Chains A and B, each alone.
Chain A
Amino acid sequence: AQKVTQAQTEISVVEKEDVTLDCVYETRDTTYYLFWYKQPPSGELVFLIRRNSFDEQNEISGRYSWNFQKSTSSFNFTITASQVVDSAVYFCALSEPNYGGATNKLIFGTGTLLAVQP
C-alpha cells in the first residue's frame, strides 16, 4: 500500500538558518509522482513542486531545493536561509496512478510544522 511518512512533526529554527524537511514514501508502483505543498496559517495548500519517479535530478528554485533518492525512497526538501514567511505546515504527497481516468489520488503525509523565529 502507498504511504508517506513525515517523521518531523514540528521544527523550529531561527531566521537565516537552513532547514531540511524529511519525506519517506512507500509504493509498489514503478511510475509515480511526488509533490510538496505548503499550508500557511490561512489554510490554502500551495503547490511547490512535482517530481516523477524517472527523474532523480535534484531541483533548486531560489531558496528551495529538493533531493530525490529512489534508493532510500526519500524526497527531502531544504530551505536555505529561512525567513519568517516560510513558517507554515509542509506536506509531502505521493500520487497513485489512475490509468482508467484523468484524475489522480494524492496520498499525503501528516505534515511538518515549520516555525521560523526572527
Chain B
Amino acid sequence: ETGVTQTPRHLVMGMTNKKSLKCEQHLGHNAMYWYKQSAKKPLELMFVYNFKEQTENNSVPSRFSPECPNSSHLFLHLHTLQPEDSALYLCASSRGLNQPQHFGDGTRLSIL
C-alpha cells in the first residue's frame, strides 16, 4: 500500500462542473500539500496544511478550494475551472519542518 493515495487518477471535466480531488496519507504525517505540475514548468506549491490548519496559500485562484478535515485527509474542490488549469495535481505529506515530502501518484486533470 502506497503511503499517499490520490483519487481519481484521471479526471475530465467541463468548465462549469464541480468536482473534488481526494488525498489520503497513511504515514502519520502532520503536514499535507497540494502541488500543480504543468508541462515544462516547475512544480507549483498551491496549499499547505499543518495539523489541519492552512499555513500557506500561494496566491491560488478561488476556483480551487482546499479542505483538510484531519491530518490524514486532504481535498481539493474544483469549480468553474479554466482550460489552463489542466495539469497533474500532486498531493504530498511530511512529518515536519524540512523533512522529506512523500508524494502520491497525482490526478491528471483535463478541462474541456
Residues of A bordering B, CB below 8 Å: 4, 33, 35, 37, 42-47, 50, 52, 91, 95, 97-98, 100-111
Contact = CB atoms under 8 A, between A and B. Distances in A.
Contact of B96 (A46, A47, A102, A108): A102
Interface residues of B, number: 30
Contacts of B104: 44
B55 A101 contact: yes
Nearest to A44: B105
17 contacts: A33-B98, A43-B88, A44-B105, A46-B103, A47-B100, A47-B102, A97-B97, A102-B31, A103-B31, A103-B48, A103-B50, A103-B94, A106-B101, A107-B42, A109-B42, A110-B41, A110-B42
Given A101-B50, A103-B56, A47 B101 contact: yes
Contacts, number: 70
Contacts of B92: 45
Contacts of B40: 110
A77 B94 CA distance: 23
B36 to A, nearest CB: 11
- 3 nearest A-B residue pairs (beta carbon): A45-B103, A108-B43, A43-B106
Interface of B: 2, 30-31, 33, 40-43, 45, 48, 50-51, 55-56, 88, 90, 92, 94, 96-106, 108
Contacts of B50: 101-103
A105 B56 contact: yes
Contact of B105 (A43, A50, A95): A43
